[in-house]
Amino acid sequence: MSPDLDPRQNRLLAALPAENFARWQAALEPMDMPLGTVLYESGVAMTDVYFPCTAIASLLYVMENGASAEIAVVGNEGIVGVSVFMGGETTPSRAVVQSAGRGFRLRGSWLKREFEQSAPVLHLLLRYTQALITQMAQTAVCNRHHSLDQQLCRWLLLSLDRLQGPNLVMTQELIANMLGVRREGVTEAAGALQRDGLIRYRRGHITVLDRAALERRTCECYAVVRGEYDRLLPASTAQ
């Protein structure tokens, strides 16, 4: 195990009962997650699942013409690859690393055995899946009914919740692809946040200067999603 990477940096792994966590440690494989890495493709059978610790992955729905939009983000709170234990094996979305970092890989077959044989693991993963579904549903509602300014605030806050510190390495073009909007719209919205002193943006680096103001500026979607994750995922139990 890498000495500078602890599985308990992932909130889902940290929530495992101590007995399960001890067994999982030997099966977890530490890995780098460079920006742009595709963790799984649409329609391809998944063989592994991923637990980000310092990275964030975007779940994207890709259209036939190549256009895409983000349906959820997964970071240190969760797992990438729920279709493995839910029985679907494949999904029409793709998972791409949107913020570089590190995490752990676990064989899908190993996880499925744990899911089927351990009631605590089954209940934990099902609760996480419910929270993820809430995020997907709220994202759809937000993209339909709320302004780009509010969507950007929600996206920044959800990303911050999954990272350590106030800094994001992210280009406006990538944000536009995630939100499924034109880059010019993101440029305008980010410029407004910067003029109002909420963020600082420079050469692909975004620093949040006033998180409280960002929370006041966003729509209710952020609070709904965060509330569900806090409600459904217990505090760390692994020792």
Q: Encode pLDDT of 132-148 as tens digits.
A: 999 999 988 888 888 88
Q: Is 83 helix (H, G, I), strand (E, B) or coil?
A: helix
**CB neighbour burial string for 130-169, b if at least 16 within 10 angstroms, e if fewer:** ebbebbbebbeebbeebebbbbbbbbbbbbbbbbeeeebe
Can you give the pLDDT at residue 238?
A: 47
The pTM for the full model equals 0.87
Q: How confident is the model at residue 92 (pLDDT cuts 50, 70, 90)?
A: confident
Over residues 144-192, the pLDDT tens digits come to 888 888 888 988 899 888 887 787 776 667 676 666 667 777 778 888 8
* Domains of the chain, CATH where assigned: 7-118 (2.60.120.10), 143-226 (1.10.10.10)
> What is the spatial distance between Cα 101 and Cα 163, in angstroms, rounded to a whole number?
10
Beta strands in the chain (DSSP E): 29-33, 38-40, 48-52, 56-62, 68-74, 93-99, 101-107, 167-169, 199-202, 205-208
**Residue 220: which residues within 8 A CB-CB, separation 6 or more?**
none
Over residues 40-68, the pLDDT tens digits come to 988 888 999 999 999 999 998 877 777 77
Percent share of the chain, pLDDT over 70? 92
Can you give the pLDDT at residue 178?
A: 65
Give the residue from 200, 218, 217 showing the smallest Cα distance to 209.
200
Top pLDDT among 234 and 206 is at 206
Q: Report residue 3: phi and psi, to 5°.
A: -65, -25
Mean pLDDT, to the nearest integer, of 84-112? 89
- Is 235 within 8 Å of 10 (Cβ atoms)? no
Query: What count of other Cβ atoms lies within 10 Å of the Cβ of residue 69?
Result: 17
